[in-house]
């Protein structure tokens, strides 16, 4: 992790064309990874036999001051601004990405910290005392965190409404001329996309 003088988190819902947005009034955003490994031993042997590997989990905690708006709740539920009633069931299959844009002390953009495919685990509201600011805390879980730097420091989102059975998209040309042309993944030559989702309304 490198130093950042500005910490500007954004949220990108994955489904239902729910709009992305700035995470307003964020007070704390941190992650803690659990490797989910279990020691395997056996009777009569003082040495470790092996490790049983599970799927790692990354717990992302976001603490935010309450400011009377529903946008964060809607984005985490992958709904839109017209949905003014959200229930716990809405969070069962919803996924959201959290991106943090990192700059140095002279405001030069250095990279993106990315928490992909976050799912709501718990949320709470805290009122410390009658004069305190109300805080909302979201605990999210995913399996990864990444830092993008150098020629691959941008995470670009593109959505397309498909009609028919054959679709061709050229990023950087035509209807997508304003999008940045993808750069090769330096760790996997010929790979440009990190993820693609298809959903129907």
**Inside any domain, residue 180:** no
The Cα diameter of the chain in Å comes to: 69
Confidence of residue 2 (pLDDT cuts 50, 70, 90): very low
Report the predicted TM-score, pTM, of the whole model to 2 decimal places: 0.80
Range of the domain at 102: 6-155
**Inside any domain, residue 201:** no
The helix/strand/coil state of 200 is coil
**Inside any domain, residue 106:** yes
CA count, 13 A, side-chain hemisphere, 126: 9
- Please give the structure tokens belonging to residue 123: 């949320």
Q: What is the pLDDT of residues 136-179, one digit of tens each?
A: 999 999 988 889 888 888 888 888 777 777 777 888 888 888 88
CATH number at residue 64: 2.30.110
The helix/strand/coil state of 71 is helix
The helix/strand/coil state of 53 is strand
Handedness of CA 65, 71, 75, 76 (dihedral sign): positive
Q: What is the pLDDT of residues 51-82, one digit of tens each?
A: 888 877 889 999 999 998 889 999 999 988 88
Number of domains in the chain: 1
* Cα–Cα distance for residue pair 200/47, rounded to 1 Å: 53
């Amino acid at each position: 992790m490198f130093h950042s003088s500005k910490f500007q988190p954004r949220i990108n819902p994955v489904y239902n064309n729910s709009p992305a947005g700035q995470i307003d009034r964020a007070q704390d955003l941190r992650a803690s990874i659990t490797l989910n490994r279990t020691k395997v031993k056996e009777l009569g042997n003082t040495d470790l036999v092996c490790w049983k590997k599970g799927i790692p989990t990354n717990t992302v905690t976001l603490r935010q001051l309450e400011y009377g708006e529903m946008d964060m709740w809607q984005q985490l539920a992958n709904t839109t601004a017209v949905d003014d009633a959200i229930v716990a069931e809405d969070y069962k299959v919803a996924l959201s990405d959290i991106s943090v844009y990192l700059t140095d002390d002279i405001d030069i953009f250095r990279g993106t910290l990315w928490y992909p495919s976050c799912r709501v685990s718990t949320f709470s509201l805290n009122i410390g005392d009658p004069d305190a600011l109300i805080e909302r805390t979201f605990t999210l879980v995913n399996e990864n965190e990444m830092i993008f730097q150098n020629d691959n420091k941008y995470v670009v989102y593109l959505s397309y409404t498909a009609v028919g059975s054959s679709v061709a998209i050229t990023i950087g040309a035509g209807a997508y001329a304003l999008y940045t042309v993808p750069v090769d993944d330096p760790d996997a030559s010929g790979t440009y996309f990190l993820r693609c989702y298809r959903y129907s309304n």
